[in-house]
């Protein structure tokens, strides 16, 4: 008797991106497993945002490879896919929750249409069914159903982030990228949003890569952690281990700066 | 397309080339038209010229007509279905002066029909060409203002946003509210704006024996639907596309299946419904058909 071995969802090897002589990110390698939440932490300029862009096919890396396991297929080189397939991937199997809701939502169409658009993009053509699924998802992110026909601009920052999450999760993606998903929000709003994300991601077994400068977010949300500085990963491991027993001097500094005095 | 030869006929305005445009410009526009015919529904850029009419008067349609018209063509021009509006009369006069061609109000007699906002009720035949005046050619513009992005959406057939617009209409009004310029898929491939014709006319575009050409002057785009090409109006499974219908028939000719305009007939608020296609209505009356408000005229 042997347990079926699960295969990795994402494999990253020796990823590098340069802006002239400046290092964006360099020598980044890791595997991500289905349902796993990986945190990438660092100060601004540490390369974490550049890394996220390279991983999510928004920017082509200068070296290295990002392989993603498509449904029922082998690993594919994300950056070798045609643009059509990349865009399809982003609308179906992937999700991206942006820091600024303006980058992730369409402000000219209703909240419900923002969620419905992803379903329509993958071929849904029955209005009633789309409506039902949108309603269901707005409930799951704890938004009022009565407001589904309102424009995103009429919602609070926290609600806009919930809407982004619903828009991304409605197609049941297997991998979601999150770029500072809670920054700029009030502390209490932040806590409730993080709680929601953790519950949804856990229940649906969605793999996530969460980029943040906030160790509180990392502690609450992620299983594993990479600490970046100057474009390189200086330490990685299980989140609790890295935060409780940091090995690298930089991580020690980072951790100590948030410790309550 | 025997423009140069016929210009020598002497019936056209002195100092201008046949049909106003110079031959080089015509060749350039014809080349765009041929490309458009080869890729049904796809917008082709062209170097739009200044015309002696203001934008909004159908300069795109006029340039297309000027490029394809020959001395032996017969031209009909309609505006909202009528041959006698200022716009239609001006365009007809323009071609009769610059090309010396025959003009007509009869849909059947015309070889080229330039139109704003309607497709004639009488069925078109092989060999006829319908030229549409188009104000805004890009169907995705409402959602995506960036040209680079809309071009990419066409290239990759990413047409979800158009259904999002229909979704919004159903959410707001309980039904698809668009009544004109209703988006269509051409040949199962390209999303196209049919210009501001009523959706009533959309089914006429489907597998029409005539060649349909679309010219947008200000936005410098030409597109086409070749004869017998499939043209399908977008909809949802549970909100299928349907056309307008009227409780009344035409007050003048009694037609029960034509597109009707409501007109005020006296200063006491009296109204009647009549065919928007004046040629269609006149022909029917000439054949003896009478509507309920036309009994006196019949005597
Ligand atoms: Zn009539």
Residue B280 located in a structural domain: yes
Residue B176 located in a structural domain: no
Residue B192 located in a structural domain: yes
Residue B175 located in a structural domain: no
Per-residue pLDDT tens digits for B57-89: 789 999 999 999 999 999 999 999 999 999 999
Compute the average pLDDT of residues B50-54. Answer: 79
Task: Please name the member of B160, B170, B171 whose beta carbon is closest to the beta carbon of A117.
Answer: B160
Q: Show which residues of B are catalytic.
A: 41, 250, 253, 275, 281
Measured between beta carbons, which residues in chain A are less than 8 angstroms from residue B152? 83
- Measured CA to CA, the distance from residue B191 to residue B162 in angstroms comes to 9
Q: How would residue A102 be classed by pLDDT, with cut points 50, 70 and 90?
A: very high
> Which site among B170, B171, B232 would you substitute to test the A interface, given the most A Cβ atoms closer than 10 Å to its Cβ?
B171
Do B105 and B190 share a domain, yes or no?
yes
Helices (DSSP H) in chain A: which residue ranges? Answer: 48-55, 83-91, 101-104, 111-121, 127-140, 157-169, 187-204, 215-221, 239-244, 249-256
Residue B247 located in a structural domain: no
Which pLDDT score, from 0 to 100, does residue B2 have?
Answer: 43
Which pLDDT score, from 0 to 100, does residue B269 have?
Answer: 83
What is the ipTM, given to two decimal places?
Answer: 0.89
Which pLDDT score, from 0 to 100, does residue A259 have?
Answer: 47
Compute the average pLDDT of residues A166-186. Answer: 94
Per-residue pLDDT tens digits for B118-174: 999 999 999 999 999 999 999 998 878 899 999 999 999 999 989 999 999 999 999
How many domains would you assign to chain B?
2
Residue B188: helix, strand or coil by DSSP?
A: coil
Do B264 and B135 share a domain, yes or no?
no
Q: How would residue B98 be classed by pLDDT, with cut points 50, 70 and 90?
A: very high
Compute the average pLDDT of residues A21-31. Answer: 96
Do B45 and B97 share a domain, yes or no?
yes
Do B198 and B287 share a domain, yes or no?
no
Enter the tokens of residue B233.
């109006």
The CATH number of the domain holding residue B119 is: 3.40.50.11310
Enter the tokens of residue B184.
């269509």
| CA B203 to centroid of chain Cα atoms | 13
Task: Please name the member of B160, B170, B171 whose beta carbon is closest to the beta carbon of A120.
Answer: B160
With a cut of 80, say whether residue A239 has pLDDT above it.
Answer: yes
Residue B109 located in a structural domain: yes
- Measured CA to CA, the distance from residue B260 to residue B263 in angstroms comes to 9
Do B116 and B222 share a domain, yes or no?
yes
Enter the tokens of residue B180.
């004109």
Do B103 and B188 share a domain, yes or no?
yes
State which residues form the domain around B290. 260-298
- Measured CA to CA, the distance from residue A119 to residue A230 in angstroms comes to 40
Residue B146 located in a structural domain: no
Q: Which of A87-91, A151-155, B187-191 has the weakest average pLDDT? A: A87-91
Enter the tokens of residue B117.
């906002």
Do B187 and B290 share a domain, yes or no?
no
Enter the tokens of residue A170.
């409605």
Do B53 and B102 share a domain, yes or no?
yes
User: How far is the first Cα of chain A from the last one, in angstroms, to the nearest whole number?
Assistant: 52
Do B284 and B188 share a domain, yes or no?
no
Q: Which of A85-89, A224-228, B268-272 has the weakest average pLDDT? A: B268-272
Q: How would residue B6 be classed by pLDDT, with cut points 50, 70 and 90?
A: very low
Residue B67 located in a structural domain: yes
Nearest Cα residue in chain B from A130: B167
Sign of CA dihedral A178, A184, A185, A187: positive
Asked if the C-beta of B172 comes within 8 angstroms of chain A's C-beta atoms, the answer is yes
Per-residue pLDDT tens digits for B272-281: 999 999 999 9
Do B213 and B270 share a domain, yes or no?
no
- Measured CA to CA, the distance from residue B111 to residue B210 in angstroms comes to 10
Average pLDDT taken over every residue of chain A: 93
- Tell me which residue has tokens 């974490």: A48
- Measured CA to CA, the distance from residue A64 to residue A155 in angstroms comes to 41
Do B201 and B103 share a domain, yes or no?
yes
Helices (DSSP H) in A122-248: which residue ranges? Answer: 127-140, 157-169, 187-204, 215-221, 239-244
Which pLDDT score, from 0 to 100, does residue A40 have?
Answer: 97
Q: How would residue A5 be classed by pLDDT, with cut points 50, 70 and 90?
A: low
The rounded radius of gyration (Å) of the Cα atoms in chain B is 20
> Which site among B163, B174, B238, B241 would you substitute to test the A interface, given the most A Cβ atoms closer than 10 Å to its Cβ?
B163
Chain A positions with Cβ closer than 8 Å to B: 83-84, 87, 106, 108-110, 112-113, 116-117, 120-121, 125-128, 130-131, 148-149
Do B91 and B48 share a domain, yes or no?
yes
With a cut of 60, say whether residue A135 has pLDDT above it.
Answer: yes
């Amino acid at each position: 008797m042997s347990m079926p071995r699960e295969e990795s969802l994402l494999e990253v090897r020796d990823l590098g991106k340069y802006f002239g002589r400046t290092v964006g990110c360099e020598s980044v390698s890791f595997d991500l497993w289905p349902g796993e939440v990986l945190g990438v932490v660092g100060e601004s300029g540490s390369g974490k945002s550049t890394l996220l862009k390279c991983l999510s096919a928004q920017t082509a890396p200068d070296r290295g490879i990002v392989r993603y396991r498509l449904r029922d297929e082998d690993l594919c080189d994300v950056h070798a896919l045609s643009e059509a397939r990349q865009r399809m991937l982003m609308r179906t199997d992937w999700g991206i929750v942006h820091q600024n809701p303006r980058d992730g939502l369409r402000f000219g169409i209703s909240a419900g249409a923002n969620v419905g658009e992803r379903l329509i993009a993958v071929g849904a053509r029955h209005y009633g069914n789309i409506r039902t699924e949108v309603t269901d998802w707005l409930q799951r992110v704890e938004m009022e159903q009565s407001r589904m026909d309102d424009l995103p601009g009429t919602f609070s920052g926290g609600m806009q982030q919930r809407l982004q999450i619903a828009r991304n999760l409605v197609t049941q993606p297997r991998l979601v990228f999150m770029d500072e998903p809670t920054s700029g929000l009030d502390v209490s709003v932040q806590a409730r949003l993080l709680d929601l994300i953790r519950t949804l991601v856990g229940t649906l077994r969605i793999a996530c890569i969460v980029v943040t400068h906030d160790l509180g977010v990392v502690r609450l949300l992620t299983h594993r952690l990479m600490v970046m500085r100057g474009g390189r990963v200086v330490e990685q491991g299980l989140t609790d281990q890295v935060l409780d027993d940091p090995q690298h001097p930089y991580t020690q500094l980072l951790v100590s700066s948030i410790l309550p005095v | 397309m025997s423009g140069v030869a016929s210009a020598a006929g002497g019936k056209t305005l002195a100092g201008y080339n046949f049909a106003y445009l110079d031959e080089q410009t015509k060749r350039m526009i014809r080349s765009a038209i041929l490309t458009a015919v080869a890729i049904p529904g796809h917008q082709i850029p062209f170097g739009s010229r200044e015309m002696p009419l203001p934008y909004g008067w159908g300069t795109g349609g006029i340039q297309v007509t000027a490029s394809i018209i020959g001395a032996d063509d017969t031209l009909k021009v309609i505006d909202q279905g009528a041959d006698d509006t200022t716009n239609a009369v001006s365009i007809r006069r323009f071609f009769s002066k610059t090309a010396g061609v025959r003009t007509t109000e009869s849909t059947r007699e015309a070889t080229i029909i330039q139109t704003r906002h309607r497709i004639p009720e009488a069925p078109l035949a092989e060999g006829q060409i319908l030229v549409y005046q188009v104000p805004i050619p890009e169907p995705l513009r409402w959602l995506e203002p960036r040209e680079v992005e809309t071009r990419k959406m066409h290239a990759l057939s990413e047409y979800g946003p158009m259904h999002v617009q229909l979704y919004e209409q159903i959410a707001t009004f309980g039904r698809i509210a668009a009544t004109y310029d209703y988006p269509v898929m051409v040949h199962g491939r390209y999303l196209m704006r049919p210009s501001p014709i009523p959706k009533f006319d959309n089914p006429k575009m489907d597998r029409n024996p005539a060649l349909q050409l679309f010219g947008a002057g200000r936005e410098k785009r030409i597109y086409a639907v070749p004869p017998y090409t499939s043209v399908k109006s977008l909809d949802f499974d549970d909100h299928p596309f349907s056309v307008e219908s009227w409780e009344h028939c035409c007050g003048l000719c009694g037609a029960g299946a034509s597109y009707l305009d409501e007109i005020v007939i006296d200063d006491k608020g009296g109204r009647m419904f009549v065919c928007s296609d004046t040629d269609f209505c006149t022909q029917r009356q000439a054949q003896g058909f009478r509507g309920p408000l036309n009994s006196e005229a019949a005597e």
